[in-house]
A = this chain, B = another copy of it.
Amino acid sequence: MIESALDLVGAGAEAGEAMHALIAQLYPICRSITGDGVRRTLAAIEQRIPLNVFEVPTGAAVFDWTIPREWNIRDAWIKNSRGDRIVDFQRCNLHVLNYSTPIHATVPLAQLKAHLYSIPEQPDRIPYRTSYYREAWGFCVTHEQLASLNEDAYEVCIDSSLTEGHLTYGECYLPGTTADEVLISCHVCHPSLCNDNLSGVSVATFLAQALFKRRRRYSYRFLFIPGTIGAIAWLARNQVEAARIRHGLVLTCVGDPGAFHYKKSRRGDAEIDRIVAHVLRQQPGQHKLLEFSPYGYDERQFCSPGFNLPVGCLMRSVWGDFPEYHTSADNLDFVKAEALSESLSVCLAVCDVIEHNRRFRNTHPFCEPALGPRGLYATTGGGRAAVENLAKLWALNLSDGHHSLLDIADRAGLGFTTIRAAAAALADHGLLAPADDAPD
């Protein structure tokens, strides 16, 4: 028997457009792992969801790391000897090597070239490069720009500052009926790049907005943090909270139209791993499950052995695997409203399973109870009715206090929402009773 209905809570086209609009709003801001770009980004998010913004001072020790100096930038350009701005930060903030030290000098071509980065294979795209922990200045240019440079005296200016300051991150905490937490984390440190990771920022924001309105069994914590150092800072300052995390997702590259990819947690068989696998299986289109590796985004920190949290990473195209990755082509055209909407739907469906993956006990465990007299067994209604009947039989057969509804759905090959609806109907008739200590 094949189940045709899709078990997703549809997010809708409207949400997709709204998420794309948020990306468009945040796109021009020059973000980095510290500085005002992050603050402006968080301020925009705070327009939509409750957000606590935290500042961690330069020099603070966070586990093995130290918060670096804060970086800010006002302008940057390269002028030729005629005074033309041939490379201009105002046109695209990717042009500056992120975290560049300030400079203002006139240099010959050869010396300039030592500070230029381009992608020969993609000659019309500006690369995204950083130098957080090694002091350097530089410009990122298209390879075409680089090739067109003649011998000349070039005036280079990077009006940046590296000063004692802070690392900034934002937290949206939605309390539930229990203190057990679900973590949703996304990095907010990339400048004008859309899929990586304004897509994650936008989907997380709208997910928080949707969950804000709902009754929640779990408490949800959304982190908008600079990559690596931000995750490390958060974990260092929130070890008690980290211990409450029962399920978690890192969101990145969720705005392009590629197939979904889910990278499992270090545990590999955590409930979140099984939940996302189930939701993606139920979802139309291809998807792929990836084994954990200690390389990637902030799941690296959440899954470090001292924490070993059940946190996976949801993506569409995988970072590093698509040609637009870390180039100026990861722009507003590359991310699509429909793709964002689907990603939000998947996240909502995942949260739906997290919230409702209960365990029940069949109150009539000896033989099947008579469903017909209770109006629980449809004799008309075709294939869908047959699926619903079957779902009830599965829920009765496996509700022995050990199998969760997800276990039952997976074994039955049916969608979680179908099994959940069956269980609800049975519970309404007293045929199932809760077998866990979750609040009703």
Q: Which residues of A contact B (CB under 8 A)?
A: 62-65, 133-134, 228, 231-232, 235-236, 239, 266, 293-295, 300-301, 303-308, 362, 364-370, 372-373, 390, 393-394, 396-400, 412
Contacts and interface: CB of A to CB of B under 8 A. Distances in A.
B397 A367 contact: no
Contact of A397 (B294, B364, B390, B412): B294
Nearest to A393: B294
A239 to B, nearest CB: 8
Which of A65, A235, A367, A369 has the largest count of B CB atoms less than 10 A from its CB?
A367
A305 B133 contact: no
Given A133-B373, A397-B294, A301 B63 contact: no
A365 B304 contact: yes
Contacts of A308: 400
B412 A366 contact: no
Contacts of A394: 293-294
Contacts of A370: 64-65
Contacts of A62: 367
Contacts of A362: 305-306
Contacts of A303: 397
B372 A133 contact: yes
Contact of A368 (B133, B301, B390): B301
30 contacts: A63-B367, A63-B369, A64-B367, A64-B370, A65-B367, A133-B373, A232-B367, A232-B368, A235-B367, A236-B367, A293-B394, A293-B412, A294-B368, A294-B390, A294-B397, A295-B390, A300-B368, A300-B393, A301-B368, A304-B366, A304-B396, A304-B397, A305-B362, A305-B365, A305-B396, A305-B398, A305-B400, A306-B362, A306-B364, A306-B367
A135 B412 CA distance: 33
A305 B303 CA distance: 37
A371 to B, nearest CB: 9
Given A305-B400, A393-B300, A397-B305, A63 B366 contact: yes
Contacts of A397: 266, 294, 300, 303-305
A121 to B, nearest CB: 16
A377 to B, nearest CB: 10
